Structure 1
Amino acid sequence: MPRYREVKIPQPHAAGTPQSLRRVNAQAVLAAVRTTEVATGTGLMAATGLTRATVIAVCEDLVRSGWLRELDTPAREGASPSAAGKPRKGRPARRFELNARAGVVLGVDIGAGTTTAAVADLRGTVLGRASAAFRATDIPAEERVSVVDRACLDALREAGQTPEKVLAVTAGIAAPVDREGAVLAAQHFWTLFDVGLRSALHERHGWPVRLENDANLAALGERWRGTGAGVTDLVVLLASERLGAGVLESGRLLHGRAGGAGEMGFLSLVEGVGSSAGIASLARTWQAEAGGPTGGGPAGARRVFADAAAGDAAALEILDRLAERMARVIAAIASFINPEQVVIGGAVADSAGALLPGITAALPALTATPPRVTVSTLGDAIVTVGAVRHALDYVEANALDLRLTK
């Protein structure tokens, strides 16, 4: 059992108080400023719905605290040429930009065998990345924490940043996590990730750390910078060895009571599916059962997709089986979640595009609400991208409580 004590992450103040209003306004302005190189009062009013006086007051507050920088004002806001060609006088245009290097966030992907940490600035630009391997699956909690810590520190060194610059950390794990960040340790595999990471990293570095399910973070990352950009009803399937889903409904992550929303154990009850085995696992198993690759060598998903691309009949048959099975999985999801889009992600995403024609053709016969199906373009960074977005959301929501270092 982990020997670390749990710590409480600061939570927003009660709605309706002056402090909560300042927080909400600051969050809205920061979210708008990070989407543009230069922000003006008029632009921020349009993006946030706040009055000019409120926008300027919030910007001045954020400039004083180091989150924004005010730029020179070479133009006048609202100025337009007169009939004589002379510019009309207007209110001076105050311009602001995000101080993107005021601090950094860490997005961490923790798997059973390895962990990867990415350091990003406040615009989400990745500055450094590092990975570390666990020597075994069942290692003590303290050792697993130390490996994660090492990856984080290595990523910070690569980024040229110090631990004091870290404003927030989000770690994605291959286990259900509830809304409070508690791991659902109902299965042995899930207990591997219940190691007291939040308390350990807070005690070592003072970092606010939040845990989230890796598929949930994949959904956030895909909506932010992937093929699901802007889609509010979205499911991302991490589909390599085992299937897991992150679900966004009206733009909001679904967790369920104990964080189990998106777990795929129910697939053992679905006709024509029978388990939550993923594309890589099934491809390897089915190729081995067929006697291995036609030209010899070990069975594996990469080999199946490569042989199919070369026209191998046995590999093409496996791809047909994979497409039909994934269509049943997606149809089951579509029948009770009804997403606009389902994205196939994870280590198999680079190859899974070959399955899309078969999946798309099969779906209308399996569900009355077939979603659009795509494959992720984020590759193996999909979880760290989502973890960075998650950490930035925390920073924006708690900017007034976070102290920036010089």
Structure 2
Amino acid sequence: MSETAPSTQLVRRINASAMLKAMRGAGVLTGTDLMAGTGLSRATVISICDELVRLGWLRELENQRDAGDYVKGRPARRFVFDDRAASVLGIDIGANKITAIVADMAGAPLSQVTMPFRADNVPADERADVLDRLAARALADADVSADSVLAVSVGVAAPVSRDGEVLTVQEFWRSFDVRGIVSERHGWHVLLENDANLAALAERWLGVAQGVDHLVVMLAGDRLGSGVLESGRLLHGQLGGFGELGYLDQLDGVGDTHGIAHYAALWGREAVRDGAKTALRGLCGGDPGRLSAEMVFSAAGDGDAVAVGILDRVAHRMARVIGSLSTMTNPELVVIAGAVAESAGALLPAISRDLPQFTHTPPRVLASTLGEGIVSLGAVRHALDYVEENALDVYPASLGKGSSGRS
């Protein structure tokens, strides 16, 4: 008996999660629809529906028949998932800014707020205050209460263990316990995850990688980071370091983890300093220090030969990086994401051209369309996954039961 009860409860949680996934965004469904969508028996479907109705996840609709209609037997019970029953919060903590998205239980964003965020030489309490202001504004813009938040997921630019602990010796993370601070101040359940891993979740959920099970998503702006999915499952490794790219320091033709924006700007400044005949000089007003990656992409788009050459060098370097990752992980698709994604499309032909030099299994390479909010969108997906997996323990505040059921 000691083994049967926990086993039965686990199966029930798994079934409840499958039911919520089947109902989210599907509109009105009958028990028969849910049996077909989940493979569960009628008795299991109805039993779990009754429990999810009691907990506030589902609403049962009244069955109405037109006058004169005759249908043999009892009318089918109809259920609908309550998208606005609760909410989740996805947060991306970057080097210079922090973004939060509030979403309903269907994953639809209700608000998105970005604030400046200084990481260096700022006391932890001040960083926490920024998080508080951000969350408060995002919730106000979404017109939802703090009590409606069932889970918060936070993305950070550091390796994170399976248990949600940052695996780094950086003083910033040693002094800034994000999970503890947010949980203590608000009582929310807080998840922590690597930013590139969250980008991978977002891309497979809403981006160009929908339906792709073998996937690498690379945040490729100032620094390179990657999230890897195998058979649709996010990989962490023993300690959470899977996808970390420190080995690039030893890779010929690469040498470090700096990204596309870094090298586009660096090589552009070198060209201006060396006296190259290029439109880049005019764009930066003759001051190489003012030259940005955006200026290089713009000049290349206008046909400037020096800028075109720089982007070709950047693409060749990225082909080496993607080739090394592809040799190890063998993905179907690699997506270039982050702040540089909008411009990265210009690099794709050259990357695809050079990629076979560096791997026998070259993947498709695409640029993300999710923009700079990709990590916070992935955080929303991460929080929704947690809620779905724990639907019988973490549920809306309906019927006055929300506070007692949260974990």
Q: Equivalents in 1 of 2:193, 2:341: separation in Å?
A: 21
Q: CA deviation at 1:257?
A: 2.2
Asked if 1 retains the 8 angstrom alpha-carbon contact of 2:223 and 2:258, the reply is: yes
Q: CA deviation at 1:252?
A: 1.3
Q: Equivalents in 1 of 2:46, 2:296: separation in Å?
A: 59
Q: Note if 1:114 corresponds to 2:106.
A: no
Q: CA deviation at 1:132?
A: 2.2
Instruction: Name which of 47, 62, 67 aligns with 2:57.
Output: 67
> Structure 1 residues 245, 90: closer, same or farther in 2, change over 3 A?
farther
- Number of the residue aligned with 1:249: 230
Q: How does 1:172-321 map to 2 (within 5 A)?
A: 172-187=155-170, 191-192=172-173, 195-291=176-272, 293-297=280-284, 298-321=290-313
Instruction: Name which of 392, 396, 402 aligns with 2:384.
Output: 392
The unaligned stretches of length 5 or more in structure 1 are 1-12, 77-85
Aligned residue identity for 1:274: G
What SS does structure 2 have at the residue aligned with 1:276? coil
Instruction: Name which of 300, 311, 317 aligns with 1:325.
Output: 317
Q: Equivalents in 2 of 1:258, 1:230: separation in Å?
A: 27
Q: Note if 1:138 corresponds to 2:121.
A: yes
Aligned residue identity for 1:303: M
Q: Equivalents in 1 of 2:186, 2:232: separation in Å?
A: 32
Q: CA deviation at 1:315?
A: 0.5
Q: CA deviation at 1:40?
A: 2.3
What SS does structure 1 have at the residue aligned with 2:272? coil
Asked if 1 retains the 8 angstrom alpha-carbon contact of 2:16 and 2:48, the reply is: yes
TM score, norm. by length of structure 2: 0.90
Q: Equivalents in 1 of 2:32, 2:394: separation in Å?
A: 27
For 1:59-115, what per-residue CA distance to the aligned partner results, in whole angstroms no more than 9, with x for missing partners? 111111110111233589xxxxxxxxx987466332211111111000000012211
Runs of 4+ in structure 1 off by over 4 angstroms are 13-16
Aligned residue identity for 2:282: G
Q: % of aligned pairs identical?
A: 55
Q: CA deviation at 1:140?
A: 1.8
> Structure 1 residues 28, 368: closer, same or farther in 2, change over 3 A?
same
> Structure 1 residues 87, 365: closer, same or farther in 2, change over 3 A?
farther
Instruction: Name which of 353, 368, 379 aligns with 1:376.
Output: 368
Asked if 2 retains the 8 angstrom alpha-carbon contact of 1:15 and 1:21, the reply is: no
> Structure 1 residues 211, 194: closer, same or farther in 2, change over 3 A?
farther
Asked if 2 retains the 8 angstrom alpha-carbon contact of 1:175 and 1:193, the reply is: no
Q: Equivalents in 2 of 1:181, 1:347: separation in Å?
A: 25
Q: CA deviation at 1:193?
A: 7.0
The unaligned stretches of length 5 or more in structure 2 are 274-279, 285-289, 399-407
Q: Equivalents in 2 of 1:194, 1:170: separation in Å?
A: 19
- Number of the residue aligned with 1:54: 44
Q: Equivalents in 1 of 2:89, 2:4: separation in Å?
A: 28
Q: CA deviation at 1:39?
A: 2.1
| Structure in which a larger fraction of residues adopt helix | 2
- Number of the residue aligned with 1:19: 9
> Structure 1 residues 354, 69: closer, same or farther in 2, change over 3 A?
same
Q: CA deviation at 1:15?
A: 9.2
Q: Equivalents in 2 of 1:52, 1:185: separation in Å?
A: 49
TM score, norm. by length of structure 1: 0.90
Q: Equivalents in 2 of 1:268, 1:203: separation in Å?
A: 39
What SS does structure 2 have at the residue aligned with 1:185? coil
RMSD after superposition: 2.0
